[in-house]
Structure 1
Amino acid sequence: MAASPYIKMYMAVDHYENFPVASLLLPARLREPITHIYRFARSADDIADEGDASEPIRLAQLAGYRKALHDIGSGTFEPAQIDAPADIFIPLARTIHKHQLPLQAFFDLLSAFEQDVSIHRYANDAALLDYCSRSANPVGRLMLHLYQAVTPQNLQESDAICTGLQLVNFWQDVAIDWRKSRIYLPQDKLARYGVSETDIATQRIDAAWQGLMQAQVQQARELLRRGLPLARRLPGRIGLELKLVVHGGLRILERLDQLHYDVFFHRPTLQKRDWAVLLWRALR
């Protein structure tokens, strides 16, 4: 999964980008529960994406995760009886119960991992955004529960941030995803702008490609800006962390613009010099 709301440049961990598990800004009381959630998502993501296992084996392993979640919800969870890693699910069960976290968020994440196993193309925005609503948005919702900041407005703005960051990651990683036989650019958008899969395979950067990517970048930018009021409203270190994350995503989009959407030879990343800019923007 090419994920997002806490994008990978904010973590001292590797590839599941949704969690700020190593952030110095994270309140100490939240580091343990977030680590437990992260380990669940990271391990399930690995089942879906890593190694050479067949599709049926991957789905069977994820079914074990689904059964363990059901057991946690029903109060019948017994570590010795689950077909899933006990060292992940024992602390996760404790965190879910202690913080009264919604199980639906975990089931939504799991459904996205299961989808990653077999679906590698998206017909239109509706299909892609539905995927984002399960692959990215649940993370922000879980964070709001941990922050004890769940309101309808906060949930809506969190969803905008998480989906926006997920899209940033997609457009940043078009070439990487292509090597995994995945295309997240909606098929109807490819047709509308006259871009083919052959163009992606041959790394063709022309006016059609630039027009398509400019539109996709603007879509992500609008989502991040729509969610930014949440980062300003959350207090203290939590709000500052989220502002840095959102501005980091916006900065990546600036890089994409500057590169004229050449994601094949120049993957846009943040450099050390960007941190001063991000901190200044976050503190404004």
Structure 2
Amino acid sequence: MSPSHPVSPTPSPTPPTTSEVAPLTAGVGHYENFPVASWLCPPRLRPAVMAIYHFARTADDLADEGDASAEQRLAELAAFRQALDACLAAPSGAPTNGRWPHIFGPLGRAMREHALPGALLHDLISAFEQDVRHTASGHRYASTAELLDYCRLSANPVGRLLLHLYGISDPASLQHSDQICSALQLINFWQDLSVDLPRGRHYLPADALQRHALGIEDFLPGAAAAAQGSPCAQQALVSELCAQARGLMQMGAPLVHRVPGRAGWELRLVVQGGLRILDAIAEREYRSWQTRPKLGRADLPRLIWRALWM
């Protein structure tokens, strides 16, 4: 989770980064500056895409913004879940008299028009609840498998919701969507080590740390590290995790040929944006626990060129 900022439903002049593409295709880890319902999205689907986005972003704010305690955040998320249940039960999709009519009014209309699967929306709330509990308890993921199980709740539902809007439901496409979404969530984690770790969010899997004889403390500010240009265990671990994420992304990439029209081209840019973030981490010698790599306008031509050749 991360702080959210105002988002415009118009195309962004900057290329898609992992943080920017995540809300619509990779989950709910980040929501900053994403061109929601951009010109690449079919106009008839833009209201539904916007409704899903604002639902996820509001849940993210409840779980992450301000100075509330973990207990208060969980209580807010429980109320948000109750509002979702009321929205699902409303026969006409009209907004309820609850606290978030601006969220559940549009979402309710999208549910009725497109028969959105409510279970996937519940999964997103479960992911935020898990994040709140794990951050409060200092939980550390035991393995990449456990981390991927978290992605099943935090990332994969959004991709499946979008495929549902496009009328795509075959098992191969759903699997590829999950692979892309989980890969982007993992890329998000390895891109944001310098942000998450000081805030008590631990996504580095314990089994990988053990293989490299490392602990979380080795990635915190002030930890000893090799001189610039010299290999170190931290770099080797980040390199390994990035390689796993790249492999997962490449496994899911064939989905771009199944999503029709402009949406398929948007997905190509999503995939290439995630892969380019991995390139940026590599170019910084896998030291993303020290500085957060990000993309700029100069990356856009490369993303478009790579998308053309997928």
Normalised by the size of structure 1, how large is the TM-score? 0.91
Alpha-carbon spacing, 1:262–1:170, altered in 2? closer, same or farther (3 Å): same
Distance 1:280 1:255 in 2: 17
Q: 1:14-43: per-residue Cα shift (whole Å, max 9, x none)?
A: 942697515331121121111111111001
Alpha-carbon spacing, 1:19–1:230, altered in 2? closer, same or farther (3 Å): farther
Do residues 67 (structure 1) and 86 (structure 2) align?
Answer: no
Name 2:239's counterpart in structure 1: 214
Within-5 A mapping of 1:133-172: 133-172=152-191
How far the C-alpha of 1:260 sits from its partner, in A, is: 1.1
2:180 and 2:252 in contact (8 A); partners too = yes
1:113 and 1:135 in contact (8 A); partners too = yes
1:256 and 1:263 in contact (8 A); partners too = yes
3-state SS in 2 of match to 1:53:
coil
Within-5 A mapping of 1:103-252: 103-120=118-135, 121-201=140-220, 202-206=222-226, 207-252=232-277
Name 2:308's counterpart in structure 1: 283
Distance 1:273 1:198 in 2: 35
3-state SS in 2 of match to 1:119:
helix
1:105 and 1:142 in contact (8 A); partners too = yes
Alpha-carbon spacing, 1:235–1:132, altered in 2? closer, same or farther (3 Å): same
> Unaligned 5+ residue runs, structure 1?
none
Name 2:100's counterpart in structure 1: 85
1:174 and 1:264 in contact (8 A); partners too = yes
Deviates more, 1:259-268 or 1:113-122: 259-268
Letter in 2 for 1:94: R
Q: 1:169-199: per-residue Cα shift (whole Å, max 9, x none)?
A: 0000001001211110112211221112221
1:7 and 1:17 in contact (8 A); partners too = no
How far the C-alpha of 1:153 sits from its partner, in A, is: 0.9
The counterpart of 1:27, out of the listed 18, 39, 42, is: 42
State the aligned residue count: 282
1:6 and 1:18 in contact (8 A); partners too = no
Distance 1:253 1:282 in 2: 16
Q: 1:231-277: per-residue Cα shift (whole Å, max 9, x none)?
A: 12222211110011101111111111121111144321112221111
Name 1:36's counterpart in structure 2: 51
Distance 2:278 2:78 in 1: 36
> Unaligned 5+ residue runs, structure 2?
4-15, 23-28, 227-231
Normalised by the size of structure 2, how large is the TM-score? 0.84
Alpha-carbon spacing, 1:72–1:80, altered in 2? closer, same or farther (3 Å): closer
Q: 1:128-164: per-residue Cα shift (whole Å, max 9, x none)?
A: 1111010000000000011111211110000000000
Q: 1:57-82: per-residue Cα shift (whole Å, max 9, x none)?
A: 11111111111222233347875553
How far the C-alpha of 1:91 sits from its partner, in A, is: 1.3
2:20 and 2:33 in contact (8 A); partners too = no
Letter in 2 for 1:53: A
Distance 1:38 1:270 in 2: 22
Letter in 1 for 2:270: V
Distance 1:6 1:95 in 2: 27
Q: Give the aligned CA root-mean-square deviation in angstroms.
A: 2.6
Distance 1:126 1:10 in 2: 23
Letter in 2 for 1:255: A
1:18 and 1:139 in contact (8 A); partners too = no
2:180 and 2:249 in contact (8 A); partners too = yes
1:2 and 1:169 in contact (8 A); partners too = no
2:123 and 2:154 in contact (8 A); partners too = yes
Distance 1:204 1:43 in 2: 38
Within-5 A mapping of 1:46-61: 46-61=61-76
1:44 and 1:62 in contact (8 A); partners too = yes
Alpha-carbon spacing, 1:106–1:9, altered in 2? closer, same or farther (3 Å): closer
Distance 1:205 1:160 in 2: 33
Q: Percent identity?
A: 49
